[in-house]
Amino acid sequence: MNKFSFTSVIFLLFLLFSVSVFAQTPMPTATPPNDDGEVVKISTALIQLDVIVTDKKGNQVTDLKPEDFEIFENGEKQNITNFSYIFSNPEKRPTDSPTPKTTDKFSIPIPPAKLKLEQVRRTYAIVIDDLGLSFENVNWVQQSLKKFVNEQMQEGDLVAVIRTGSGIGALQSFTSDKRQLLAAINKIKWNPQGRGGISTFAAIGT
């Protein structure tokens, strides 16, 4: 009986000692995360809107300012960060001094200078489904493309004509030269061997 009690006392003392030592052992403090390497990413979307404003006579109004416009998205007014006027007809653009007229009717137009990256405003890729273009639609497609080039292309525009039958670059690369674009449009041909009569494009020498 005494032996059992002595053993119990030793076990109890050991248990109390262990608990006491455990209680005196300091708990490690949690290290706060280092915020030095934290990266905050914010994405923004820049939307470009082309607007044409005319008076009662159909003439373009050129002296407008950003405060003359209001843009709303989902009922919320948006801020206008950039605003500029682009002449739709460069040949009619007013200049400080009149350009002297030439009497040489056979003179070749000077091609526009190659645009720098910061000068490019809009980029168009005109895709023609030449694998399904019928004979009846060849002329309509040509006239529509010519109208776009002559009337809607503006300074700073890059345009490329792409056909589905030969992949990208079948006609030409992106250019601001209307002469090259019109030459590409004139090369549209009808191919009777296609499905239902498809059109093919002759290569353009550059």
| 145-168 mean pLDDT | 80
How close are the terminal C-alpha atoms of the chain, in Å? 114
- Mean pLDDT over 13-32 rounds to 53
Distance CA 198, CA 26 (A): 84
Q: pLDDT, tens digit, for every residue of 110-133?
A: 566 677 777 788 888 888 777 677
Residue type at 94 in one-letter notation: P
pLDDT at 203 over 50: no
* 130/103: higher pLDDT: 130
Secondary structure of residue 182 in the 3-state scheme: helix
**Neighbour tally for 128: CB within 10 Å:** 21
The full set of domain ranges for the chain reads 116-206
Residue-level length of the chain: 206
Give dist(CA 173, CA 162) in Å, integer. 9
Looking up tokens 């608990």 gives 19
Beta bridge partners of 159: 124, 175
Instruction: Cite the DSSP H helix spans in 25-65.
Output: none
Note the pLDDT tens digit of each residue in 43-75: 666 677 777 777 877 777 888 888 888 888 888
In 79-114, which positions are buried (b, 16+ CB within 10 angstroms) versus exposed (e)? eeeeeeeeeeeeeeeeeeeeeeeeeeeeeeeeeeee
Residues contacting 184, CB < 8 A, separation 6+: 161, 171, 172, 201, 204
